[in-house]
Amino acid sequence: MKKYIETNFTIGMIVIFLIGCSNEKEKSVFSKMVFELNGTQFINEEFLKDPFSITTMDSFLIIGNLNGTPMVEVFDRFSGKLIGSFLEKGQGPLEVLALDGCQNVNNQKLIIPDLFSRKMLMVDKSTINKDQIVIEPFFSINDYDEDIVAKIGKIAYLNDTYNIVTTTDNNGRLGLLNTKEKTLNYFFPFTDGEVLFPELDSYRNNNLFSSDMTVSTKNNRIAFSTHMADMLYIYEYLDDKLIPIWHHQTYLPNGIKIFTFENTPPQAFYTDKSIYGYHDITSSEKNVYALFVGFSQEQGDIYFTNRIRVFNWNGENRFEIRTNYPLKRIAVDEDDHFLYGISKEEEAIIVKFNLNDLK
């Protein structure tokens, strides 16, 4: 039997303070202005498979499934009518193993990333209303240097030269992946050179900061949210560099146990005391919407939350929305008129919120 040594960690007084406070009393810039927003059921479980991600694109609502096939369904986002479905699960050139959401690029094309095979497929908007939705290869990392491939996490389209990526490298949590020269430039270390847990190697330390991103190709800006910490960032792409614009932080990854096994590197595990960060992040041309949890598994169902933090692309005009439906994924239209979310009753449903009710 393998022997192990267990060590409990917290992140200083920040975590102690947060555990001692209720969510309503959380000292955050977003909590200073809170709005209630009631939505309605838009698409029920009868017309859904296994919804995992949600994206808007012009008049379309794009639902990505976790396991159900076809893996992508397209609905009219005004009527809720099913328009079409496409994409099979698999290892073929026009299939995906793990659908990592979909990215709307300027309401012209839909980028479909595969988290496992590190590739992207593309659907031109003009084909969606046709009898046969056309899928095309768009990008693959398979012919990049192995050292680069091993360090890259999520990938999103930024422009015709660069993809924006998350990395697990100590050189930076973000990267610009040059798709023409097949090079990677790093930006912004995870913890300003400090190691969160000295017992862990750099790869496992950096994995604690896994993130989601949303990209505004019109503004050349990227917003990131962290899954297991209250950390939000905005960066601007300028002159082949990423420039920091704004960040918000109240707590780092916390409530973690470190296990040291014989002949293997120490491993980090979250516990039921770990306070969760952000489930999802989406954006319009003007604003960013981040779906925030802010509590631990001891305190409730951490897979759904009714708190959405909103800010513009400069990190200003910050407020929080409280919804009447618990959500696990969200999407907003380009003009900030409607917000859509994956929620649940007996089964998964899609709910719709009129953001004009906030105005």
pLDDT of residue 21: 38
pLDDT of residue 151: 86
Residue spans per domain, the chain:
1-32+188-325, 41-140+328-359
Q: What is the tens place of the pLDDT at every residue in 326-344? A: 999 999 999 999 999 999 9
Question: Which ranges of the chain have pLDDT less than 70?
Answer: 1-27, 190-195, 359
pLDDT of residue 31: 83
pLDDT of residue 329: 97
Q: What is the DSSP string of 307-347?
A: EEEEEETTS-S-EEEEEEEEESEEEE-TTSSEEEEEEESSS
| CB proximity list for 209: less than 8 A, separation 6 or greater | 173, 190, 226, 228, 229, 231, 253
What is 41-140+328-359's CATH number? Answer: 2.40.128
pTM of the model: 0.91
3-state SS, residue 127:
helix
